[in-house]
């Protein structure tokens, strides 16, 4: 799961970096087999309309699969690993709970504001926490960026989002950028100002895992999990996962039919939906085509005299005075 290099990390060193800079990163923290296993779990549960089970969801220029604990044994083992607990404990103390988690993809043209993750709610804002990010794809662009040391002062500001102009003017020399191969792990203090660097290319995709842990035991996001993956959980793991504890927070983001583009739908679902929605129109068009073909044939078969009579009767009376008198008389009979 984790590499020897990550397991051998001194948790105090990580905690010191978090206290000083607000962020710590290590490349090659997760082994390639574990990355591949999680990618395969995501592929299996990725999507499906009206599926009687868990799936992911699109949110405009992002995709989220928040139920990784329900679909991936590898992910479950990763985020309940003793090394993760050790680092968390050194950073925020012995009382902590998993707050939110996800596999997510960020596409080109997505714009993420510089922000902090300690939410706007004052109560939430006084809660120390850390977030872990693991890259599932190589990240050469669109990487995580963090303002070094901003965790130490951002809490004094009432707001959560920071403009590009503010960051460019005041904090340009403090921006840390974390490019890295798949398997890179970044951990940061939730109070620090950060973002995913925007990528102005339409076809771009960055794949990552995210999980947030904080000191607030009493509240969390509701989790779905597969108990099979927990093997033999101890007290600490059960409390970390929120067993028996209230989970009043809304899962993020709120998605629905309006947050997915037609092109993002699985091709079979999309083809089926299109066929269903246009069935009546297609039937009506087909009937009209048949009726038109019959009418054309009738007209072709009709003798010229009958045709002229019909046209007159049908109100093409304006033509009548133009016809030769002889013909007019004959038609009138
Ligand atoms: O994906 C990233 O680089 C940052 C993600 C983030 O800040 C968030 O989801 O709150
Ligand atoms: Fe964030």
Q: How far is the CA of 102 from the centre of ligand 1 (A)?
A: 11
Q: Are residues 145 and 245 in the same domain?
A: yes
Q: For 104-132, what is each residue's pLDDT tens digit?
A: 999 999 999 999 987 645 554 578 999 99
> Is residue 269 included in any domain, yes or no?
no
Q: Are residues 256 and 292 in the same domain?
A: no
Helix, strand, coil distribution of the chain in percent, nearest 5: 45, 20, 35
Q: Are residues 134 and 200 in the same domain?
A: yes
Question: In this model, does residue 321 exceed pLDDT 80?
Answer: no
pLDDT range class, residue 325, cuts 50, 70, 90: confident
Packing angle of the helix pair 325-332, 304-313 (nearest 10 deg): 80
Q: What is the pLDDT, as a whole number, of residue 310?
A: 79
Q: Are residues 251 and 141 in the same domain?
A: yes
Q: What is the pLDDT, as a whole number, of residue 245?
A: 97
> Is residue 256 included in any domain, yes or no?
yes
Q: How far is the CA of 116 from the centre of ligand 2 (A)?
A: 6
Q: Among the atoms of ligand 1, which is closest to the Cα of residue 142?
A: 3
Q: How far is the CA of 231 from the centre of ligand 2 (A)?
A: 31
H-type alpha helices, the chain = 4-7, 11-20, 32-45, 68-71, 73-79, 82-92, 122-125, 164-170, 235-241, 267-277, 279-301, 304-313, 325-332
Protein residue closest via CA to atom 7 of ligand 1 = 195
Q: Is 117 in the pocket of ligand 1 (CB under 6 A)?
A: yes
Q: In which domain, by residue range, is 319 found? A: 278-332
Q: For 143-199, what is each residue's pLDDT tens digit?
A: 999 999 999 998 777 667 889 999 999 999 999 999 999 999 999 999 999 999 999
Q: Among the atoms of ligand 1, which is closest to the Cα of residue 197?
A: 3
Q: Are residues 79 and 196 in the same domain?
A: yes
Q: For 293-304, what is each residue's pLDDT tens digit?
A: 998 898 889 888
Q: What is the pLDDT, as a whole number, of residue 125?
A: 55
Q: Are residues 161 and 293 in the same domain?
A: no
Q: Are residues 184 and 289 in the same domain?
A: no
Phi, psi of 195 (to 5 degrees): -170, 170
Q: Is 63 in the pocket of ligand 1 (CB under 6 A)?
A: no
* Contact (CB, 8 A) for 111 and 144: no
Q: How far is the CA of 52 from the centre of ligand 1 (A)?
A: 29
Q: What is the pLDDT, as a whole number, of residue 315?
A: 66
- The CATH number for 22's domain is 2.60.120.620
Q: Is 194 in the pocket of ligand 1 (CB under 6 A)?
A: yes
| pTM of the full structure | 0.87
Beta pairing, strands 175-180 & 185-189: unpaired
Question: Which of 196, 208, 252 to probe ligand 1 with, by most ligand atoms within 8 A of CB?
Answer: 196
Packing angle of the helix pair 82-92, 11-20 (nearest 10 deg): 40
> Is residue 141 included in any domain, yes or no?
yes
Q: What is the pLDDT, as a whole number, of residue 29?
A: 98
> Taking Cα atoms as reference points, which of 59, 56, 131 lies closest to residue 99?
131
Overall domain count for the chain: 2
């Amino acid at each position: 799961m984790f590499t020897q290099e990550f397991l051998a990390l001194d948790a105090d060193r990580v905690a010191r970096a978090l206290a000083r800079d607000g962020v710590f990163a290590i490349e090659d923290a997760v082994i390639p087999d574990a990355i591949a296993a999680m990618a395969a779990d995501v592929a299996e549960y990725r999507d499906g309309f009206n599926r009687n089970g868990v799936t992911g969801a699109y949110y405009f220029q992002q995709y989220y699969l928040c139920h990784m604990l329900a679909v991936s044994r590898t992910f479950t083992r990763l985020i309940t690993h003793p090394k993760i607990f050790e680092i968390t404990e050194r950073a925020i103390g012995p009382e902590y709970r998993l707050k939110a988690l996800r596999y997510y993809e960020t596409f080109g043209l997505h714009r993420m504001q510089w922000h902090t993750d300690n939410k706007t709610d004052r109560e939430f804002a006084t809660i120390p926490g850390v977030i872990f990010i693991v890259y599932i794809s190589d990240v050469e662009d669109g990487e995580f960026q963090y303002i070094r040391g901003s965790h130490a002062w951002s809490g004094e500001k009432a707001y959560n989002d920071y403009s590009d102009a503010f960051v460019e003017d005041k904090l340009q020399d403090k921006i840390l950028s974390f490019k890295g191969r798949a398997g890179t792990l970044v951990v940061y203090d939730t109070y620090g100002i950060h973002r995913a660097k925007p990528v102005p290319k339409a076809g771009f995709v960055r794949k990552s895992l995210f999980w947030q842990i904080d000191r607030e035991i009493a509240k969390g996001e509701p989790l779905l999990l597969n108990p099979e993956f927990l093997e033999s959980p101890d007290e600490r793991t059960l409390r970390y996962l929120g067993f028996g504890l209230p989970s009043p927070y809304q899962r993020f983001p709120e998605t629905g039919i309006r947050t997915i583009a037609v092109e993002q739908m699985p091709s079979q679902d999309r083809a089926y939906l299109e066929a269903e929605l246009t069935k009546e129109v297609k039937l009506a068009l087909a009937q009209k085509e048949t009726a038109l073909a019959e009418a054309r044939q009738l007209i072709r078969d009709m003798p010229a005299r009958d045709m002229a009579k019909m046209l007159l009767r049908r109100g093409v009376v304006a033509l009548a005075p133009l016809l030769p008198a002889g013909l007019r008389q004959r038609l009138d009979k």
